[in-house]
Chains A and B, each alone.
Chain A
Amino acid sequence: MSDSTCPSEARAQDAATPAGHLDPRDRAIVLATQAGLPLVPDPWGAVGRRVGMSGDEVLARMQAMAARGVIRRVAAVPNHYRLGYVANGMSVWDVDDAEIDRLGREVAAIEGVSHCYRRPRHRPHWPFNLFAMLHGHSREEVERQAEVLRARLGEACRDHRILYSSRILKKTGLRLGAGGPGSDTQRRD
């Protein structure tokens, strides 16, 4: 069931640094910061000392990566539950293919939707092609949000579910290892 045809990969690569071409100095900064930024007055200097660059260079490179969209932002990543968002639902919708691009953009703009994607169906087990993450202080709150989405999707939507998360099994975020872009070890493709 591991689908190898993935239209998003081809598109993403067009707009991106090709695989393996991440600048080695940028890559060193990614490796040094992916677990977190040092919480000190001059975090760029602290990162620089770890990677052998000046703080000015680290900051300039991070600004450039942010401008290219390689860094979405430098921010606090909250634990939903600890902030009182105990109801976290992945709402999934079976939406008419002809309408999904327009409706996906509309649904994404609805208050409370944090992430919204079109993904492939896997019929018959999985007919859903639109994913919208919803977060609330109770399931009732999430279900009210889902009602707003349901109304917006109208007749283009045949079915939907809300898959609540009942446990975080792992949450480390993206990690580059030793052998990736800019490295010549452990490349297997």
Chain B
Amino acid sequence: MSPAALDAVDRRLVNRLQDGLPLVARPFATVAAALGIAEGELLYRLERLREAGVLSRFGPLYHAERLGGGLTLAALAVPEPDFERVAEAVNAFPEVAHNYRREHALNMWFVLATETPGRIAEVIEAIEAATGLPVFNLPKEEEFHVRLHLPV
């Protein structure tokens, strides 16, 4: 996946909108005014950035636990020849929110987000059954910081 070509306005837009949209009546008009562009241009650029995959999504970031749900990070040590099969099996679970391949003996790392905290253990069991591999469950015990911001 190659870096996208962004012009100066795209960059300001991406930087500004990583911080969040104000929760006001005409939020895009408010941000557009601050950036000195028209609301329509902002919406057009935002849609283009989303379609081009520069943005994975644009919308509310929900806090799983405060929604009453469960959240955990889990990992698998997948034998190389089985990697694609296991990736497909793991990704098929709707509770798998993200999944990354990483360079380590534990080479598959995924986040589980479930409707209830109790459901985490059930999904882990189901993933173990579907993959035939033991799941390392690494729930957060303390959150020191969550604030992704990638300046461009």
Contact = CB atoms under 8 A, between A and B. Distances in A.
A173 B2 CA distance: 22
Given A84-B3, A108-B145, A175-B113, A79 B135 contact: no
A119 B139 contact: yes
A39 B139 contact: no
A151 interface: no
Given A75-B20, A170-B110, A174-B97, A6 B59 contact: no
A86 B3 contact: yes
A109 B49 CA distance: 30
Among A84, A85, A125, A174, chain B packs the most CB atoms within 10 A around the CB of: A174
A9 B54 CA distance: 33
Interface residues of A, number: 98
Given A1-B135, A36-B58, A78-B14, 14 more contacts: A1-B137, A6-B72, A39-B46, A44-B25, A72-B63, A74-B21, A75-B19, A77-B56, A78-B55, A79-B53, A114-B147, A116-B145, A117-B143, A175-B113
Interface of A: 1-4, 6-9, 12-13, 15-22, 30, 33-37, 39-44, 59, 62-63, 65-66, 68-86, 90, 100-101, 104-105, 107-109, 113-120, 122, 125-126, 131, 133, 135, 161, 163-177, 179-181, 187-189
